[in-house]
Amino acid sequence: MSIILEHQIRLEPLGQYESEVHHLFHETFLMGRPLGFPLDEVGLYAELSLAWYLTNAAHLGAVAIRDNEVVGYALVCTDPVAYDEWLAKVAKKLTRRVFARLVTLRLSARSRKFYRLRFLDSLTVWKSRKRLPIDVSAHVHMNIKEGERSGAVALALLGHIDHVCRDHGVTSWIGEINASLGSRERALARVLGEIIAIEPNRTFTDLVGHPVNRLTVRRDL
Span between the terminal Cα atoms of the chain, in Å: 24
pLDDT band of residue 189 (cuts 50, 70, 90) is low
Average pLDDT for the chain: 90
Residue-range domain boundaries for the chain: 3-220
Distance (Å) of CA 176 to CA 41, 78, 110, 142: 24, 16, 25, 9
| Fold that domain 3-220 belongs to in CATH | Aminopeptidase (3.40.630)
Q: Which residues pair with 69 in a beta bridge?
A: 66
Which whole number is the average pLDDT over 156-172? 95
pLDDT band of residue 187 (cuts 50, 70, 90) is low
Global pTM value: 0.91
Amino acid at 61: G
pLDDT band of residue 150 (cuts 50, 70, 90) is low
87 SS3 class: helix
Whether residue 132 is predicted with pLDDT greater than 70 in this model: the reply is no
Each residue's pLDDT tens digit, 66-109: 999 999 999 999 999 999 999 999 999 999 999 999 999 999 99
Amino acid at 75: L
Q: For residues 37 and 122, what is the distance between their CA atoms, to the nearest angstrom?
A: 22
